[in-house]
Amino acid sequence: MIFPTTKILESPRCRLRYISKEDIPHIFKAAQYPGFTDGMLWGPPASEDELIKPYENNVKAWNDDLAYCFTIEAKETVEFIGRISIRKKEEKDLWDLGFWTHPEQQKKGYMSEAVQAIIGFGFRELQASRIVACHALWNKQSEKVLKKNGMTFIEHIPEGFKKNGKWIEENLLGITFNEWKTNRAEQVSSHNSGGCAPST
Q: What percent of the chain has pLDDT over 70?
A: 94
Residues 64-116: tens digit of each pLDDT: 999 999 999 999 999 999 999 999 999 989 999 999 999 999 999 999 999 99
* Whole-number Å distance between alpha carbons of 200 and 149: 8
* Whole-number Å distance between alpha carbons of 82 and 19: 11
Residues 37-68: tens digit of each pLDDT: 999 999 999 999 999 999 999 999 999 999 99
Lowest mean pLDDT among 15-24, 33-42, 138-147, 191-200: 191-200
pLDDT of residue 35: 93
- Write the burial class of residue 22 (CB in 10 Å: 0-12 exposed, 13-18 middle, 19+ buried): exposed
How many residues would you count in the chain? 200
Do 122 and 114 meet the contact criterion of CB atoms below 8 Å apart? no
> Residue 89, SS3?
coil
* Whole-number Å distance between alpha carbons of 146 and 26: 24
pLDDT surpasses 80 at 193: no
Distances (CA, A) of 181 to 6, 26, 122, 197: 27, 35, 12, 15
Per CATH, the number for 9-192 is: 3.40.630.30
Residue 1 banded pLDDT, cuts 50, 70, 90: confident
User: What's the rounded mean pLDDT across residues 138-150?
Assistant: 97
User: What's the rounded mean pLDDT across residues 8-27?
Assistant: 98
